[in-house]
Amino acid sequence: MSDINTKDSINILVSGDSISKGVIYDESKNKYLVLPENYVNTISAKLEGSIKNISRFGSTITRGFNKLEKYIRKETPDIVVIEYGGNDCAFNWDEVADSPDANHLPQTDIRIFETSLRETIELLKNIKITPVLLTLPPLNAEKYFEWVSQKNPLTQSNILKFLGSVPEIYSWQERYSSVIIKVAEETHTKFIDIRSAFLQYPDFTKLLCKDGMHPNREGHKVIADKIMNYIKSGYAYLLID
């Protein structure tokens, strides 16, 4: 971000999925809603400049890339925060439950995920925009398994036949997060390791919603704190006094 060090304020674009959108599961209302105190809004209130959040529930990196191309021409951001992988690594669990012996693919093959991430970084750097990647918060595999199977014994049995074990859900999603770090290091791109911030807690599952995948209110605070520490370490001049 050295090329923005002379600016008094910056424009940031956040491109991601429901995590960056601020979606949580509200157990009292039994539905998903957007948390007003999500990590993007929390950071936005503390920075000199503007943050536009174009994240969308259910988005994958390929859908996000297409949307991002339109917005960077219109918004001319200095920085683009990229947060994808949670939907990319997910399978169609209804199809898995119906045909556990079939060859099922995730929404985005991990090789395509890596290629798309590299292409996004290259696009931004070529037009002098700084990309910053976020790793994935860890899953609560047990809760996620209960959520996608709706606690139906037959559905659970069929999904397990395909997966092999419940912990494989965690490991599979972790591979996508590892790809983010790999690409960041190989392309010399800034990244903020959200995953490590969650795993520092004795029980990170308390930072996740009932569905086992979306950070809850406390989880969004952890993300916001991690990003704020990153900003304070090198870009404190961008913070509002």
pLDDT tens per residue across span 124-145: 999 999 999 999 999 999 999 9
Residues 157-179: b if buried by 16+ CB within 10 A, e if exposed:
ebbeebbeeeeebbebbbebbeb
Q: If pLDDT is split at 50, 70 and 90, which confidence band does 1 have?
A: very low
Q: How remote is the C-alpha of 164 from its chain's centroid?
A: 26
Question: Which CATH number describes the domain made up of 2-238?
Answer: 3.40.50.1110
What does the alpha-carbon distance between residue 156 and residue 166 come to, in Å, rounded to a whole number?
10
Query: How do residues 154-206 score in pLDDT, each as one tens digit?
Result: 999 999 999 999 999 999 999 999 999 999 999 999 999 999 999 999 999 99
Token duo for residue 5: 């060090």
Q: Are 216 and 208 in contact (CB under 8 A)?
A: yes
In whole angstroms, give the CA distance from residue 52 to residue 79.
Answer: 11
What confidence score (pLDDT) does residue 122 get?
A: 97
Domain ranges of the chain: 2-238
Tokens of 150: 């709706």
Mean pLDDT, range 215-222, rounded to an integer: 98
